């Protein structure tokens, strides 16, 4: 289904802004209070902003600067890092290299994929585990590797804290998702969106309407708007503009599956009408590939059956990729 590209900006955003101070502290009651806010946002929208999240603004600025330098490289230098050459889906994806919305033109963005950097001789790589392997690194950017490794580690820690908050929001022990978080898959993606062209093809946009596959997505935006979220109440798009000092968090299909659709995985897209180059950095937290995703007991009413069979994280991801890239 192709969703209409309406002129101008979408209506104002109604997504909640959640202060994580209590969740990251030691007071159990404060953690529960934040978790209740998270739970309501997950039921109502599947999207929310977070602030006071603990990620260093200076590190974020370095990541953005390194991303700009990467995308400023020559086409030849970027294509030398083509992710098509990586069994682990790491590296560069060219402009219009992905089509997330069926029936729409290819996405008007270029990207770069990174994950945990595992050597080729690692047993998990040798076994062909999904999305496990070495990264590709731009050798002409000497600070790129260190910056991305630091940011990936910091975001992994934040995602683990949010998973603990999700557990509390579902009236589960705080450590309920500890197995999911152990040795978790997580993809860091750098994205560059050129301005929406005046002569764009019908339906062409920075990123087509889609839901995310996995667990949590934590999005760092620059100062340029573009993200839009589907409002299931009004059946229309609403802007999710950049808010200084925040991340936009959304749930992926795996969380919706896990919660028997109590928590939402919501359509979203990017339309860069700013007239400027837009950069964003989503962090996709996917979990341990061997972890079994079965309907959470607190998400079932007494006479209700699970809507989905049990599946491992890796099986879920392979099926999602098969549907998308087949």
Stated pTM of the model:
0.95
Q: What is the pLDDT of residue 8?
A: 47
CATH code for the domain of 54: 2.60.120.330
Take residue 82 and report the two structure tokens written for it.
Answer: 């083509």
- Which structural domain, as residue segments, surrounds residue 118? 17-325
Q: Is residue 1 part of a domain?
A: no
Q: What is the pLDDT of residue 176?
A: 98
Q: What is the pLDDT of residue 326?
A: 55
Q: Is residue 147 part of a domain?
A: yes
Q: Is residue 3 part of a domain?
A: no
Which residues, other chains included, contact 136 with Cβ-Cβ below 8 Å and sequence gap of 6+? 81, 83, 85, 86, 90, 91, 92
- Residue 282 contacts residue 221 (beta carbons within 8 Å): no
Count of domains forming the chain: 1
Q: Which residues pair with 248 in a beta bridge?
A: 49, 219
What is the C-alpha separation between 135 and 118, in angstroms, rounded? Answer: 8
What is the C-alpha separation between 81 and 91, in angstroms, rounded? Answer: 5
Q: Look at the block and give the residue holding tokens 């889906």.
A: 89
Q: Is residue 185 part of a domain?
A: yes
Q: What is the pLDDT of residue 6?
A: 42
Q: What is the pLDDT of residue 10?
A: 57
Say how many Å lie between the first and final Cα of the chain, rounded.
17
The CA distances from residue 107 to 95, 191, 196, 272, in Å, are: 7, 11, 11, 11
Work out the burial of residue 123: count CB atoms within 10 Å of its CB; fewer than 13 is exposed, 13-18 middle, 19 or more buried. exposed
Q: Is residue 2 part of a domain?
A: no
CA dihedral for 316, 318, 321, 326, sign (positive or negative)? negative
- Cα 52–chain centre separation: 19
Q: Is residue 9 part of a domain?
A: no
Give the pLDDT of the chain (326 residues) as one tens digit per residue.
333 444 445 556 689 999 999 999 999 999 999 999 999 999 999 999 999 999 999 999 999 999 999 999 999 999 999 999 999 999 999 999 898 898 999 999 999 999 999 999 999 999 999 999 999 999 999 999 999 999 999 999 999 999 999 999 999 999 999 999 999 999 999 999 999 888 888 899 999 999 999 999 999 999 999 999 999 999 999 999 999 999 999 999 999 999 999 999 999 999 999 999 999 999 999 999 999 999 999 999 999 999 999 999 999 999 988 877 65
Q: Is residue 5 part of a domain?
A: no
Q: What is the pLDDT of residue 12?
A: 60
Q: Is residue 285 part of a domain?
A: yes
Q: What is the pLDDT of residue 199?
A: 85
Q: What is the pLDDT of residue 39?
A: 98
Take residue 15 and report the two structure tokens written for it.
Answer: 């997504």
């Amino acid at each position: 289904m192709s969703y209409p590209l309406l002129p101008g900006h979408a209506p104002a955003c109604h997504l909640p802004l959640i202060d994580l101070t209590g969740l990251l502290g030691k007071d159990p009651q404060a953690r529960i209070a934040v978790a209740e806010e998270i739970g309501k946002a997950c039921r109502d929208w599947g999207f929310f902003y977070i602030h006071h999240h603990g990620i260093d603004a200076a590190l974020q600025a370095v990541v953005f600067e390194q991303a700009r330098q990467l995308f400023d490289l020559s086409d030849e230098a970027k294509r030398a890092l083509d992710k098509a050459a990586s069994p682990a889906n790491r590296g560069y994806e060219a402009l219009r290299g992905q089509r997330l919305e069926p029936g729409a033109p290819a996405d008007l963005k270029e990207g770069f994929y990174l994950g945990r950097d595992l050597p080729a001789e690692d047993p998990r790589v040798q076994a062909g585990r999904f999305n496990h392997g070495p990264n590709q690194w731009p050798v002409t950017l000497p600070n790129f590797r260190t910056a991305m490794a630091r940011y990936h580690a910091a975001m992994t820690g934040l995602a683990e804290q949010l998973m603990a908050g999700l557990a509390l929001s579902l009236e589960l022990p705080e450590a309920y998702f500890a197995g999911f978080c152990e040795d978790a898959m997580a993809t860091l993606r750098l994205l560059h969106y050129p301005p929406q062209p005046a002569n764009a093809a019908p339906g062409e946009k920075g990123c087509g309407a889609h839901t995310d596959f996995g667990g949590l997505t934590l999005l760092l935006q620059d100062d340029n708007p573009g993200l839009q979220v589907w409002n299931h109440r009004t059946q229309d798009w609403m802007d999710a503009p950049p808010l200084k000092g925040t991340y936009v968090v959304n749930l992926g299909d795996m969380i919706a599956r896990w919660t028997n659709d109590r928590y939402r995985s919501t359509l979203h897209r990017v339309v860069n009408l700013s007239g400027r180059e837009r950069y964003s950095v989503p962090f996709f937290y996917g979990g341990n590939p061997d972890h079994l995703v079965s309907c959470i007991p607190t998400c079932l009413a007494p006479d209700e059956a699970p809507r989905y069979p049990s599946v491992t994280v890796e099986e879920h991801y392979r099926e999602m990729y098969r549907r998308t890239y087949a």
